[in-house]
Structure 1
Amino acid sequence: MNNGEPFLHAALIGAAAPNPGEKVIHVGAGTGYYTTLLAMLVLPNGHVQAFEIDRGLADRARENLEPFEGIAVTNDDATALPMQSASLGYVSASVVALPAHQLEALLPGGRIILPWQANKRTGLPSLITRTPAGYEARH
């Protein structure tokens, strides 16, 4: 999902409904544009932990996000790292299967939104919410 699709990102962020004070995990932060928007939506007392696998993009994100409080950028593969607990996950990179540890990191009532790559030609935005009974998915 590229950053040149602001209406799509707006719809996905709106569906994820970030709230003040929430902790957000952003996977695929790029240069940090949407990370900044997420951070602004969880003010006050919110925090965004951003992951970017590409070193050059992660360095640019750190530089771009330096003026903002409550944002940390990690240059690594988020699918291979343990996740801290969070109330919201925002995944900008399409996935065939979401790593189980990313679902398990969701706090009760937490949600994660991602572009699920159903097949080579089809991407499907999906919102997964952690409920007392398990997880619910809405496409």
Structure 2
Amino acid sequence: MKAGLVQLVWALRALEAAGLARPPLRLLLNGDEEIGSPASRPLIEAAAEDAAAVLVFEASADGAVMERGPGTARLFAKARAVAARMGLDLCECSVGGASDGNFAAALGRPVLDGLGAVGAGAHARHEHISVDGMLERATLTAALLHELA
């Protein structure tokens, strides 16, 4: 997840340097996600209550982004169109894990999860991320934020 946050910071810096618009942002960093977010869940729900879109920078599942609902389908379509303009084929998938994005999705907010690092071996000794993937995801994030502006 830390790599995803680095990607977000560089996406924001790129938008600022290029003088491109971005939507108003609310950034929430959660320290208890790995144990189910018992203390932060109310904060997450409050932050997501009026959000037009929720972007979660958890690591992706082989480059794909988490679960489809009507709002998420529209958000994914935008992200996929942005990726296509970059020459990327952005896929979606559903995985069995839990994410704080689920709290926002339960409130009916469109959520794209898995915008973080592309790599493999989560929580294992061989865990790694792709440096090229980080650049690609930071670029995708910047373009998606500009599209949402």
TM-score strictly above 0.5:
no
- Whose radius of gyration is greater, 1 or 2? 2
After TM superposition, the score normalised by the length of structure 1 is 0.35
The structure, 1 or 2, with the larger RCO (C-alpha pairs under 8 Å, 6+ apart) is 2
Give 1 or 2: higher helix fraction: 2
Q: TM-score, normalised by structure 2?
A: 0.34
